[in-house]
Structure 1
Amino acid sequence: MLVGGALDDGNAAVYGEFVRQAGGAQARIGVLSASSAVPHSSANAVAKVLKAYGAGEVTWIPPVTAKRDGSGDDPSNAALAASMTGFFLTGGDQFRYVQSMVHADGTDGAVLRAVRQRFLAGAPVAGTSAGMQILAGRDMVTGGTSYPGVRDGAQPGVFDTDDVLGYWPAGGFGFFTSGLVDTHFDARGRNSRSIRLAADTGHDRVYGVGEDTALVVTGAGTAGESLRVVGTTGVSVLDLRSARVGLAGGHWSIDGVRWSYLTDGDSYDPARWRVAKGAGSSPAVPRSRPAGRRAWTRSARTRCGTPRSTWPRPDCPPRPPRRPRRPAPVRRGAHQGSGVRRVHRGWCGSLVLHRAGRVGPGRLSRPARRASHGPYGRS
């Protein structure tokens, strides 16, 4: 289960789905939080929520030391992980998972080996934010924002600044490999950086998961892999199979990228690159665009045709009433009855009188006009 981050404690659809897959009241869920700057606190917060949704037992599986290669080799922690029926990975910095659970040569540490064995045996694994990112395959993004990423391109490695679009060529744990993944997709405007990273590393598909939303994966890594969206926002699927990279005005450019947006209840077939709309799904409509007269005009022309002489037809929507025009306000200045609309302090302090049909300098005496320009004349 890939969660895009900022998962609300009240999101019963996502938490409930994960707890159900892990076994419900008989579930034994292990929480991995090596990515967090405060691992124990993060694990406790998640454990409290999972128990509220009916999980039987929730246990923190700690790394021996954070930020150290291969520190997830503690035998007792590995044995604890081997007894779990599901795993939840918290957010933070995804590269800390690499440092604490993967050896320097790229092989699994003992804890990760136990988690992988349980995953292959059918135990669900959910990750939010950095916990989602670490579940990806090769070329895992490590940081960077969209503008400098698109401008300068992707660079392998881990960087301390968001001005570099970094990625880790070896990738994450490799539990989900049918495309690149990115988190907080809509809230942080990460579509551009994902497209640039995919183009630079040779990927032809990106899954961008929005906040408070999960992409539920069934049969991960198999020919029958299927995806389903659960949550309050949505998932973007970017298709780069027909994309063309070039230069426009001396700058990097790309076109031909297809964008599909899935919302709660929609599903996706990675093998066929096909979206299936859910029963209760509705077309995405920008929230900031009210349905007013202009929207009616567009829909009427589409449904009723043009020219206007053919209107109205029986299937045409009713025309919204025109808004009455307000009369223009008449503002008068200090000289009532003189035709002066208003007086204001103009360029370099000079007085300007606005008359009906005429704008010009006020009728000041020559010394006063010179004084209004300041000691250095017009500035």
Structure 2
Amino acid sequence: MQLPKGYLIAIGGAEDKGEEDKLRVKKLDFFEQGILRQIVELVGKKGIPKIELITTATSFPDEIAQIYKKAFKKLGIEQIGHLKLTSREDGDYKKNLERLEKSNCILFSGGDQLRLSSILGGTAFIEMVKEKYMDDHFVIAGTSAGAAAMSNTMICGGNADRAYMKGEVELNIGFGLIQSVIIDTHFDARGRFGRLVQAIAAQPAAIGIGLDEDTAVLIEKGTKLKAIGSSSVVVVDGSNVKRNNIADVHGGEPISISNLQVHVMARGDMFHLQSREFTAANHHLQESRTPT
């Protein structure tokens, strides 16, 4: 099976953009440890970064593009384009495809993931994105809606307060850049653990990934997840589920599921999708302190 040569960076939203906000508590150094810096360093390993911003998901494309251009310029990146794809015709337009071909990184902004997938899903643009991801050192970043749409199954809505009731979580088809994964964003800030649990109850073979704000997973070779950013990543593994009543209860009734495995990843921790193994960033240190 061919593994992708490119990288995915799925971001939980509200990533540090180097803005001077006295009310914001800076947890990491934007210029040294921030998520956007990680993107720049990863792309820069193969030449000068040529980044295209994709703002299809948002209703404020120009404003969002300017924020990202300003943030990347603070990191020394000048070659930043803005592909304003607002229709399916835009996704098949030759000049847009030519710009995509010349880029080595794209970033999908936040907004509405259903809008993003319904406009670009199945277009020549997304097909080229998949080809470049498989064949080249190509970096695909997505924040919030842009992260949720990366997987083959995506969460596109749901009431967090009623997430343990059957039918309160909406699933749809994403871009399929990564298989057997369901990604949720703004995870802690919006209390979304319950809706990720219901999504995994519906598809227990998948791995659920809950991304807190200003936090991301860097996915290498389509299988290796590394947590980056200032907060936590929650991984929900349903492969060993014993009881699961979601197929038996009616809509609006509570779900019952047992033996879910949950991991919480901090910066530098790793999770392997195929083996379902978790590796802590400081595991060597922990092992050295184990009593003999």
TM-score by length of 1: 0.63
Q: Do the aligned partners of 1:31 and 1:88 also contact (CA within 8 Å) in 2? A: yes
What does 1:44-63 align with in structure 2 at a 5 Å threshold? 44-63=66-85
Could you tell me which residue of structure 2 aligns to residue 110 of structure 1?
124
Q: Which letter does structure 2 place at the counterpart of 1:117?
A: E
How many residue pairs are counted as aligned between the two chains? Answer: 257
CA deviation digits over 1:46-104, x for unaligned, max 9? Answer: 121112112241100121xx3x44541111111111110111110000112222212xx
Could you tell me which residue of structure 2 aligns to residue 87 of structure 1?
106
| Alpha-carbon separation, structure 2, partners of 1:237 and 1:165 | 18
SS at match of 1:151: coil
Distance 1:178 1:200, change over 3 A: closer
Q: Do the aligned partners of 1:79 and 1:114 also contact (CA within 8 Å) in 2? A: no
What stretches of structure 1 of length at least 5 have no aligned partner? 103-107, 154-163, 284-379
Query: Does 2:269 match 1:266?
Result: yes
CA deviation digits over 1:110-146, x for unaligned, max 9? Answer: 2223322222222111100001011111x21111123
What does 1:254-333 align with in structure 2 at a 5 Å threshold? 254-279=257-282
Query: Does 2:115 match 1:96?
Result: yes
Q: Do the aligned partners of 1:235 and 1:262 also contact (CA within 8 Å) in 2? A: yes
| Alpha-carbon separation, structure 2, partners of 1:17 and 1:60 | 20
CA-CA distance at 1:280 after TM superposition: 8.7
| Alpha-carbon separation, structure 1, partners of 2:169 and 2:118 | 20
CA-CA distance at 1:152 after TM superposition: 3.0
Could you tell me which residue of structure 1 aligns to residue 57 of structure 2?
35
Q: Which letter does structure 1 place at the counterpart of 2:178?
A: F
What does 1:129-168 align with in structure 2 at a 5 Å threshold? 129-137=144-152, 139-153=153-167, 164-168=168-172
CA deviation digits over 1:290-349, x for unaligned, max 9? Answer: xxxxxxxxxxxxxxxxxxxxxxxxxxxxxxxxxxxxxxxxxxxxxxxxxxxxxxxxxxxx
What stretches of structure 2 of length at least 5 have no aligned partner? 1-8, 19-29, 287-292
What does 1:149-188 align with in structure 2 at a 5 Å threshold? 149-153=163-167, 164-168=168-172, 171-188=173-190
Distance 1:280 1:46, change over 3 A: farther
Q: Which letter does structure 2 place at the counterpart of 1:2?
A: A
- Rg bigger for which structure? 1
| Alpha-carbon separation, structure 1, partners of 2:129 and 2:114 | 18
SS at match of 1:207: strand
SS at match of 1:167: strand
Q: Do the aligned partners of 1:268 and 1:276 also contact (CA within 8 Å) in 2? A: yes
Distance 1:26 1:204, change over 3 A: closer
Query: Does 2:91 match 1:72?
Result: yes
2:215 aligned to which of 213, 216, 231: 213
Which fold has the larger relative contact order, with Cα–Cα distance below 8 Å and residues 6 or more apart in sequence?
2
RMSD (CA atoms)? 2.3
Distance 1:202 1:237, change over 3 A: closer
